Amino acid sequence: MTGFFEGFLTGIGMYTKSPLFYLLIVLLVLRVLYRVKRPAIRGVFGEWRVNRRLAKLGDEYRIFADMYVPDGKDGYTQIDHIVTSPYGIFVIETKHYSGWIFGRERQKNWTQVIYKRKEKMYNPIWQNFGHIQCLKTYLEIEELEMHSIIAFSSDAKLKFKEPFETAHVINVNELKKVINRYVDIVLSETELRDINKSLEQLSFTDKKQKRRVKAAHLKSVKSKQSGQKPDRPHLSKVEFKPNKSASKKIESVVELNPSIHTGPQVGSLGYCPRCTHELVQRNGKFGEFVGCSAFPKCRYTLKKEA
């Protein structure tokens, strides 16, 4: 028996001296990291694909990605993509979801189905409506119609029974075709230049500053859930000038539809602090709870205070 253990330990010692052993360890660590960071990696790759497709629009179009727009309430609303052109402004909300997607325009929650598992998501049309209202207030152009686009990843199968009236709900590969449908000039060179200049003020050249704003945005979402007032970092280059007439218009729309709210991630349950995907309402064996929409890749759940 002693000889067996001695031989076993000798074999282990010889194996650990082999370069193959360390290679396997590295591969195992990378696999674990990938599983943990997979939602974030998927999101980054998805945004890269969207940017690549938008870049094919041409020189008449200007693309602004991952924009944090002041909401006038000491917080921000995050917009995935804004495209400006003489033919109008396009506000794009991207959803890197897979599976079958069901929903209607006036339905509060949509459904994602993956292998008989159903998950709820907040209506992205309503979500993008809040983004657009906030952007109009910031730019002080509430009279200009902005085009709402909800772009799902190519892995998603859109199973909608009714057409949408207030937004384009499409797969990412249809982005260029949908934007190119608009050919009538609605913005002069001066107007477009002013809009682009205002949006440039929201672009960050300092990565640390953008991380602070992103952290403040996530904190504001969490604070909103707990009823606390969020802190806002000082940004000398951003000056928010609310337009009173636009604010009244937003308020009137909200009064007509109490389910719609303005501000960061309108009406949603917030963002996951681990992977930044949306939080959704779920049903478990112990009742309802809030969890990450990237489940099972991300297993974050929001604990409720007793």
- pLDDT tens sequence across 6-19: 655 565 566 566 67
Q: Identify the pLDDT of residue 170.
A: 95
pTM of the predicted protein model: 0.61
Chain segment 77-135, per-residue pLDDT in tens: 899 999 999 999 999 999 988 899 999 999 999 999 998 889 999 999 999 999 999 99
Chain segment 139-168, per-residue pLDDT in tens: 988 788 899 999 999 889 999 999 999 999
Q: Identify the pLDDT of residue 43.
A: 54
d(CA 242, CA 221): 21
d(CA 171, CA 94): 9
Q: Biggest alpha carbon distance in the chain?
A: 89
Query: Which band of pLDDT confidence, cut at 50, 70 and 90, is reported for residue 63?
Result: very high
Structure tokens at 236: 């000398």
The CA angle 45-51-56, to the nearest 5 degrees, is 135
Range with top average pLDDT, 140-144, 172-176, 266-270: 172-176
- 53 has pLDDT over 80: yes
Q: Containing H/E element for 20? A: helix 19-54
Q: Identify the pLDDT of residue 306.
A: 44
DSSP tag of 275: T
Range with top average pLDDT, 21-30, 189-198, 288-297: 189-198
Chain segment 248-265, per-residue pLDDT in tens: 433 443 333 333 333 333
Spatial contact of 290 and 301, defined as CB atoms under 8 Å apart: yes
Beta strands in the chain (DSSP E): 62-70, 76-85, 88-95, 99-102, 109-114, 117-122, 146-152, 156-158, 168-171, 279-284, 287-292, 301-302
Range with top average pLDDT, 37-41, 129-133, 213-217, 261-265: 129-133
Spatial contact of 167 and 153, defined as CB atoms under 8 Å apart: no
| Of 164, 170, 132, 162, nearest in space to 148 by CA | 132
Q: Identify the pLDDT of residue 281.
A: 77
